Amino acid sequence: MTEPLDLLIIGAGPAGLSAAYAAGQAGLSYLVIEKGTIADTIRLYPVGRTLFSTPNELEMQVGALKPCREKPTREELLSHYIHFVLDHDLNINTDEEVIGVERAAPEGFLVHTNKHDYRAARLLFAIGAMAHPRRLNIPGEDLPKVHHLFVEPYAFVRKDALIVGGGNSAAEAALFLSEEGARTTLAIWREDWENRDPKAGAMKHWVRGPLDQEVAAGRLRVVLYKEIVDITEHAVSLITEDREVLTIPNDVVFVLIGSDADLTLLKQLGVETVPGKLTEVPVYDPETFETNVRGIYVAGHFTHARHIKAAIDIPRKIVPLIAHSLRDVSKTN
């Protein structure tokens, strides 16, 4: 067991990185534990993807992210986050997963990873919401040709690809595949295809425009479906809006219907959760982001503040409060 830490941060996405920097600034002893790589969620975006957000919503320091165009690519953003870690020598252990957390006596927490045990006075969960990709739960979904993440189209040129989903990720994947010569079908619910209201989760217009062009050019087929029946080695069967059973020849399937956070560790500690707009969220104080369990804080994608801007801004606000609470404790001891 190493020296007790003031703050242990779980996850090195934008929220965890912002928290690490703020902890250093506040003079706290801190460590970030990350099961993957620095900014792993961004690393798993499609290769060459352009972000929806502008640099001021993504950068760790004003003016530090300088993309070639108005919005950065995945590669530019990833490089920005990596250099932020290197330039500030942030304390991050990658390839290490937090697998258990318990309360320690007389106070603080004991954190178990797949490599070590740590003690920390405060914990910040910055674990994102990508742990459990949603599934269709249909026969054939575990075939090797079925993916729940889309990273790049180049292996699928002249192949029959089916994408299931109604959001931006599904639409972007369909676009990437269709533009790079896959025979692409997007299976989407009517309400998602007809939704044009950005506030109600409609596709971004800069995705929708090129998607419509691919459809008009006959390179991309859109099927309005009610249900995907099953996936076999060479086909997918689905029921269309018109109740027709359609069997589509198929080499690869991407099921891109969202993902959910893994709240197991939080729940084991007694943190309460409630149903959110899209998924279950922990209960926390909207000012301090402290949960109902004293000393446990949350930030980022699995809270109500889902975008990168909030994932960066919230830790800047709450880490000084955490530092303050620790100073109060040391004064009373």
Q: Enumerate binding residues for ligand FAD (CB under 6 A).
A: 10-16, 33-36, 40-41, 45, 51-53, 97-98, 126-128, 130, 169, 300-301, 306-308, 311
Cβ proximity to ligand FAD: between 237 and 291 the closer is 291
Asked if 315 contacts 14 with a C-beta cutoff of 8 angstroms, the reply is: no
Asked if 142 contacts 37 with a C-beta cutoff of 8 angstroms, the reply is: no
Nearest alpha carbon to residue 57 among 311, 243, 279, 253:
311
DSSP 5-67: EEEEEE--SHHHHHHHHHHHHTT--EEEE-SSSTTHHHHTSPTTPBPSS-HHHH-SSTT----
Query: What does the block give as tokens for 6?
Result: 């003031």
Cβ proximity to ligand FAD: between 6 and 172 the closer is 172
Q: Smallest distance from the beta carbon of 308 to ligand FAD, in angstroms? A: 3
Q: Smallest distance from the beta carbon of 242 to ligand FAD, in angstroms? A: 31
Q: Smallest distance from the beta carbon of 127 to ligand FAD, in angstroms? A: 4
Cβ proximity to ligand FAD: between 140 and 165 the closer is 165
Q: Smallest distance from the beta carbon of 251 to ligand FAD, in angstroms? A: 22
Asked if 40 contacts 12 with a C-beta cutoff of 8 angstroms, the reply is: yes
Asked if 7 contacts 322 with a C-beta cutoff of 8 angstroms, the reply is: yes
Cβ proximity to ligand FAD: between 16 and 282 the closer is 16
Q: Smallest distance from the beta carbon of 169 to ligand FAD, in angstroms? A: 5
Cβ proximity to ligand FAD: between 131 and 239 the closer is 131
Cβ proximity to ligand FAD: between 12 and 318 the closer is 12
CA atoms within 13 A on the CB side of 164: 30
* DSSP code of residue 154: G
Cβ proximity to ligand FAD: between 13 and 67 the closer is 13
Place of tokens 């707009």: 277
What does residue 214 show for φ and ψ, rounded to 5 degrees?
-65, -40
Q: Smallest distance from the beta carbon of 268 to ligand FAD, in angstroms? A: 12
Neighbours of 101 (CB within 10 A): 22
Cβ proximity to ligand FAD: between 183 and 306 the closer is 306
Largest CA distance in the chain: 72
Query: Angle 14-25/308-332 helices, nearest 10 degrees?
Result: 40
Write down how long the chain is.
Answer: 333
Q: Smallest distance from the beta carbon of 22 to ligand FAD, in angstroms? A: 13
Q: Smallest distance from the beta carbon of 237 to ligand FAD, in angstroms? A: 28
The Cα 167–Cα 148 span in angstroms is: 14
